[in-house]
Amino acid sequence: MKKIGLLNIQHIDNYGANLISYSMEQEAGLATDHTAEVTTIRFLPDRKKSLKQANTLLNSIRMNGIAGIGGKVSASFKRMKYKLRAGIRKTALFRLAKRLLKKGSPEQACADDKTLELKRLRAENFESFHSRVLHLSEPISIENIDKLDYDVIIVGSDVVWKPQRLLAKEENCAYFLTRVKKSAGIAYAASIGISDEKILGRLSKRYKAAVRRFSFVSMRERNAQKYIGELLPDTEVANCIDPVFLRTANEYEQLIAGIAPKHDAYVYVYLMGNNKEACRYAQKLAEQKGLKIVFHTNYSDIGFEGESSLSDGPLEFLSRIKNADYIVTDTFHGTAFSIIFHKRFITFTRGNMSVRLEDFLSHIDLKDRFVESTDDIGRIDAAIDYSRVDEVLGEWISASKEWFSNAVNSALNNTSGE
């Protein structure tokens, strides 16, 4: 039996990334009529090390170009700064000051203990999702990634090709398959995540060399499709939809059938950025509608009262959106599942991180749901013509499924698997 490996970023506790893995597994099975073995590759990079390395290089490129000496000076300065900061934190004076500040208060200690407990439950929920829903390989690291043995490896979706992953040695070897020589490579709805022409221009040679490894390429954002298409004029680069849209609302409802709603009426607030405007809007919305707030955020100074859903796993997240009265978010997948479940929602910008959101909402004529700030609480109640949205999405989904099936089967037919 031929083998397909799916390589994305499900190793982090992120709802969208893990639900992408679920959808990709389902779609790969359908595309091959379940005649191939489908596995999600459990790649585990040293993310802290990779991110630090990549951000240093990216800052150098942003300021001075690839060979800019100023970037090297900047990198050296940053290393000195980190060492100095680490040294200060080891001093007795710093430890004393920390105890005297609020962080050492009983109230803060109690809050910290509660957060730790929520994160522990969250880890359990993600592990349950991995074991019950996904088909994961044994953990793979940079040391043994060249030993991957699949007929086809499909990279994507999500921001698997953002500049930091291109520049970080570990993640470059994985998401651009630079150390994987045995497998045919397919990129499905890969995202670069930025539209900064200056940075992309300076990285064009690197992207061209990396992406050339793939037999079939599709991008999630249209600007990225154009960019990669210009780098590879002999390759037909498609524009495919995010994988979560390849599954229907009914399929997701079946997935969460055993999860009972925890609240009768609430606003679900799902934020990845420290977005004060979104918090203020959600608070006013909840007060005006007489609703409870259920929120997920990585920031402790969220600024309003409500019930934290930090302990949720991917299935609990789906249930929160499915059963919410309103959704306030600044995330792509918070927006995506609001649309899949036909909810009333509003999406706040997250600066440079919102390129894919803006492109997506423009594509389906819902740009009016995308705001930087607003005092119009009633804006979220403006009717959405979901029949029209579903029609536009339906065409995009059908084209994406066809592209995916053709790419997978063509790649498999060109291999010599058993």
The model's pLDDT over 233-262, given as tens digits with 9 standing for 90+, comes to 989 999 999 999 999 999 999 999 988 887
CATH topology of domain 252-384: Rossmann fold (3.40.50)
Question: At residue 146, does pLDDT exceed 70?
Answer: yes
Same fold, 3-44+133-246+397-413 and 252-384: yes
The model's pLDDT over 260-269, given as tens digits with 9 standing for 90+, comes to 887 789 999 9
Question: At residue 104, does pLDDT exceed 60?
Answer: no
Instruction: Share the mean pLDDT of the chain.
Output: 85
Q: What is the pLDDT of residue 115?
A: 75
DSSP for 297-361 reads -S-S---S--EE-TT--HHHHHHHHHH-SEEEE-SHHHHHHHHHTT--EEEE--GGGGHHHHHHH
pTM as predicted = 0.84
Q: What is the pLDDT of residue 19?
A: 96
The model's pLDDT over 314-339, given as tens digits with 9 standing for 90+, comes to 999 999 999 999 999 999 999 999 99
Question: At residue 201, does pLDDT exceed 70?
Answer: yes
Count CA atoms closer than 13 A to 72's CA, side-chain side.
4
171 vs 166: CA distance, rounded Å: 7
The model's pLDDT over 7-66, given as tens digits with 9 standing for 90+, comes to 998 778 889 999 999 999 999 999 999 999 999 999 887 766 666 666 666 776 776 666
Could you tell me the sign of the dihedral formed by the alpha carbons of 106, 108, 112, 115, in that order?
A: positive
List the one residue out of 138, 129, 93, 115 whose CA is nearest residue 14. 129
Confidence tier at 178 by pLDDT (50, 70, 90): confident
Among 30-34, 171-175, 199-203, 376-380, whose mean pLDDT is lowest?
A: 171-175
Class of domain 3-44+133-246+397-413: alpha beta
- Give the start-to-end residue ranges of the domains of the chain: 3-44+133-246+397-413, 252-384
Q: What is the pLDDT of residue 71?
A: 45
Question: At residue 173, does pLDDT exceed 50?
Answer: yes
299 vs 313: CA distance, rounded Å: 18
Q: What is the pLDDT of residue 68?
A: 46
Quote the tokens at residue 253. 């409802």
Instruction: Find the helix packing angle between 15-31 and 332-340, rounded to 10°.
Output: 60
Percent of the chain with pLDDT over 90: 55
